[in-house]
Structure 1
Amino acid sequence: MTSKTAAQDDTAFLGHPRALGFLAFSEAWERFSYYGMQSLLVLYMTKQLLLSPQVDRIAGFPAFHGFIEAIYHPGASIQAVASAIFGLYTSLVYLTPILGGFLADRVLGKTRTVILGALLMSAGHFLMAFDVSFLLALLCLILGTGCFKGNIAGQVGALYGDTDLRRADAFQIFYLGINAGVIAAPLIAGTLGEKIGWHYGFGAAGVGMLIALVIYLGGRRHLPPDPPLPSKGVARPKLAPSERGTILLLVALLPVMAASVLCNQQIFNAYLIWADRAVNLEIMGQKAPTTWLITLDSAVSVSFLAIMVVFWRMWAARFKEPDEIGKLTIGAFVSVAGVLCLAAGAAIAEATGTKVNLLWCVAFHVLNSIAFANILPVSLALFARAAPKAVAGAVIGIYYLHLFAANQTVGILGGLLEKMPASRFWLMHAAIALGAGVVFLLVGRIFARRLSPAAVGPDPLEAAA
């Protein structure tokens, strides 16, 4: 044990270090704010903001629209423009963690960088309450997420030594917190936005972010200290050849990971627009808010995150548990099955001239949640474990590039929803996820040993302790 990791006997929070509880609850409220805003974003743009005269009130929008047109070519379609803006925003929030990792590793340290990110995000959510500040709000949210997201995940990884087998479970618990926030976000922020007023929903998201900051500040004393920042004139630690090879392999996995989560990331964009128009959302004679589908997805995701933790523990008691690449492979193939449910439901509706039965969406969310539980927390745990300690913050930032790429692709593909039958649209997503599963399968057979704990090597500080 070192000062940078938790003791093996620190089990105050569900068998894990006390600090994990503060980090998980902070992340839960941060995700409440983020997904509360995101669940409303596309609907808000297509139903109000991008319509005249509201669009004329947005400061700087003519120049921004010219940029969107040059990059995405959405044309006159409001849905395509909204999809492009959504794709740009949600991709950049996963690009800026590289900047956040640099600030944490070289300038501010993780704790102060996380606090800065929380303050920026709070400002961004409250700025969303006004049409004129829409673009400034998005900028604050993009920069704030970059400072917050990667570094708080890095602090979770820093609670455990390389030989502490609780790390993978910790990230699944961390994702339980994320999904708890996502469940509440559409029910509160989404319902306020759709039923009372868009800006009330965005304001609720801002309050959630302030709660996240308060919880994080309350748990600071339980966090492991940040690694010392590099001093001027002191040589930066050099990476060993094996560490450079590990980083290259992790980078090579990014496009495959992006393809594997494409169906999940489309839920907040084209899926919501398609469901709003094409799915029968009537419950007891009343049309449910479209954003409640996000709550459904998150509730199912939380359930299967917990189920998968228990399942893999029971599996490991009798059989050899798959490594991270093995679980990623399983997740990608299950994702294919999930999106095929959407394609089937859409095909039946197209053939009969009716709306899509809601049960097809339920089946999609169940299968997608099983896939999610075996992809996102597992891949984050892989990067946190394999990252060389000298550049851990930057590597975690690099990890989020796969979500940058996925959301850019989501924005581009989302514009095709109006240009092809929905059944073909979802089959296209299934084919992409299938390709990712095949590549993961090959990587597992060829490179699994390269990413094993033995090949990556222990934390040098732990080895010296």
Structure 2
Amino acid sequence: MGERREIGGHPAGLAIVTVAEAVQAAGIYGVQALLILYMANALFTPAMLDSVGGFTAWRALLESLFGPMSLQALATQTMGLYLGLFFLTPLLGGWLGDRVWGPRLTCIIGAALATGGMVMVILPATFLPGLLVSALGAGALRCNLNAQTGHLYARDDGRRDAAFSILAAGLNTGAFLGPLLIGALGERVDWQWGFAVASGCMALAAITLMAGNGLMPPDTPHAARRSARLQHGDGRTIAALVMVMLFTSLFWLAQSQVWNVYALWGRDHLDRLVLGLEVPVSWLQAFDSLAPIMAVPPVLALWRAQAAAGRVPGELGKIGIGMALMGGAFIWLALGSGILLGQGQTPILWVVMFHLILNVGWLYLVPTVNALFSRTAPPAVTGVMLGAVQFGVFIGSTMSGWLGRFYERMAAADFWLLHAAFPLAGAALLWLVRGRLAKVLRL
């Protein structure tokens, strides 16, 4: 079987999934870096509103739910809902992968759908429905890439954590390069050129998956997928994993604001001059992805040293550390937003440190959560439970969109301190119930 071939001590299929993860991340995170800026600076402005298909109905819907909003608040709310939908759709994608098409085919269909959606985003007339289509496609793709990674290994294979860390490195490589290229094109040349390159990235992900199809584990036959059933005790396992997901949603509330209002803060309050050249705001998202790439080798080395000494914090411990680091990062950002540095512009080196702290926390939490869910989720619902990981991001992202309106009303330091409180609370709650969760999940 092709999937038994190995590269660097891992199944060869891991290379295919990692490349696909990297190129789709370049498209997705490139768009995320541009989207709030495009809406706030261009699309959701009086000069452009008449060309946005469905905008009047969309504004009426949002204001009926959340009250009157400025155009900037509409942009941040739309961004939050897009991010939420982007991370909600993996639940549907996981079900399709588990029960209907299998993860390999679902990934390819999802990449094709995301490509079409990003093409629609290029045109103001199809911008809003394009967000929906691209989110649906990306949801089908993302969770099934994780599911395929888990299927490359036996459940007790000690390489699983490292495999998900490698996959995370691929994601962050794409998430670093995408904003650099797509962001520069969008901000400095033309917004539409940025979105066009993003659609090309999604098309390349589909081509990669089709080319490497033979290196992946075969999809379970249709009848076998549908006949899979939950076993006795699986309900308790699912409940425990859902609790972990709810705690991590507080981490994602803070992280989602980095994809949303943080860009507007960078536009308004950050000194972006470096050697006489102004750094594009969208490149802040590249900073956000570079730190974990740099941190993977030392963090993995630290975990190996801790394992050799018998002092590994464990999966729940790593998740708690990740949330605590996220909270610390936002305290650092608040200190640089007026508390320590006064009311002038924040130097760019200050936010480099913010991204380093934040993304070491990301590295502790995200690969660990994916590995935990892929290993402990009942086989009948592996894809759905990996989608449930993304549901935690949906909760956090949707809440971040609503909280974004307060950016115009609060001092910047207070706004970031508010966001520090959420992941710190999640870390404290997880610490209180870690023993019971570990028992249910057999950790």
TM category, shorter: over 0.9
The superposition leaves residues 45-80 of structure 1 with CA deviations (integer Å, 9 ceiling, x where unpaired) of: 01100112322112222111111212233x341221
User: Which residue in the other structure is 1:34 paired with?
Assistant: 28
* CA distance in structure 2 between the aligned counterparts of 1:6 and 1:333, rounded to whole angstroms: 38
1:154 to 147, 162, 186: 147
The alpha-carbon distance between structure 1 residues 408 and 431, as it changes in their structure 2 partners (threshold 3 A), is: same
Range with greater deviation from structure 2 (93-102 or 234-243):
234-243
Distance in 1 of aligned mates of 2:436 and 2:276: 55
Q: Are residues 1:316 and 2:311 paired?
A: no
Measure how far apart 1:347 and its partner are: 2.2
Aligned mate of 2:47, from 53, 56, 72: 53
Report the Cα distance in structure 2 between the residues aligned to 1:235 and 1:437, rounded to whole angstroms: 37
Q: Secondary structure at the match of 1:417?
A: helix
Matching of residue 109 in structure 1 with residue 102 in structure 2: yes
Q: Cα RMSD over matched residues?
A: 1.7
**Residue 166 (structure 1) aligned to one of 159, 171, 182:** 159
Helix, strand or coil at the partner of 1:241? coil
Pairwise CA distance, 1:390? 1.2
Contact 1:105 1:229 in 2 (8 A): no
Alpha-carbon distance between aligned partners in 2 of 1:323 and 1:218, rounded to the nearest angstrom: 37
Inter-partner Cα distance in structure 1 for 2:326 and 2:69: 33
- Match of residue 6, structure 2, among 8, 11, 15: 11
Structure 2: which amino acid aligns with 1:219?
Answer: G
C-alpha separation in 1, matches of 2:296 and 2:129 = 35
**Equivalence for 1:86:** 79
Partner Cα distance (1:28, 1:235) in 2: 31
Q: Which runs of 5+ in 1 are unaligned?
A: 454-465
Residues 421-460 of structure 1: pairs in structure 2 closer than 5 A:
421-452=411-442
2:352 — aligned with what?
362
Which letter does structure 1 place at the counterpart of 2:25?
R
Shift of 1:6: 6.0
2:320 and 2:431 in contact (8 A); partners too: yes
**Which has the larger displacement, 395-404 or 42-51?**
395-404
Residue 60 of structure 1 aligns with an amino acid whose one-letter code is G
The AA in structure 2 aligned to 1:11 is: E
Code of the aligned partner of 1:112: L
Aligned match for 1:413, one of 389, 403, 415: 403
Q: Does 1:192 align with 2:182?
A: no
- Structure 1 position 280, deviation (Å): 0.8
Unaligned regions of 5+ residues in structure 2, if any?
none
Cross-structure match for 2:237: 246
In structure 1, how many angstroms separate the alpha carbons of the residues matched to 2:229 and 2:30? Answer: 42
Q: Alignment identity in percent?
A: 33
Deviation per residue, 1:251-287 (Å, 9 max, x gap) = 1222210102322221111111011101111112222
**Equivalent of residue 172 in structure 2, options 173, 179, 182:** 179
The range that moved more, 105-114 or 372-381, is 105-114
> Aligned residue for 1:214?
207
In structure 2, the residue matched to 1:344 is 335
2:269 aligns to what?
Answer: 278
Q: Secondary structure at the match of 2:406?
A: coil
Kept in 1, the 8 Å contact 2:3–2:215? The answer is no
Q: Is 1:225 equivalent to 2:225 in the alignment?
A: no
Contact 1:325 / 1:443 at 8 angstroms: preserved in 2?
A: no
The match for 1:123 is 116
Relative to structure 1, the CA distance from residue 446 to residue 60 in structure 2 (aligned partners, 3 Å threshold; closer, same or farther) is: same
1:296 aligns with 2:287: yes
TM-superposed CA distance for 1:152, in Å, is 1.2
Write the mapping of 1:367-406 to structure 2, written as runs, cut at 5 A. Answer: 367-406=357-396
Is the partner of 2:346 in helix, strand or coil? coil
Local SS of the residue matching 2:168: helix
Give the C-alpha shift of residue 124 in structure 1. 1.2
- Give the alignment's TM-score, normalised by structure 2: 0.96
Report if aligned partners of 1:183, 1:299 keep a CA contact under 8 Å in 2.
yes
Q: Match for residue 268 of structure 1?
A: 259
Runs of 4+ in 1 over 3 A off after TM superposition: 234-238
Counterparts of residues 317-336 of structure 1 (less than 5 Å)? 317-336=308-327
Which residue matches 1:259?
A: 250
C-alpha separation in 2, matches of 1:352 and 1:441: 35
Whether 1:135 and 2:128 are equivalent positions in the alignment is: yes
Distance in 2 (alpha carbons) for counterparts of 1:297 and 1:205: 18
1:22 to 5, 16, 19: 16
- Provide the C-alpha distance between the structure 1 equivalents of 2:252 and 2:295, rounded to a whole number of angstroms: 16
The answer to whether the 8 Å contact 1:95/1:400 transfers is yes
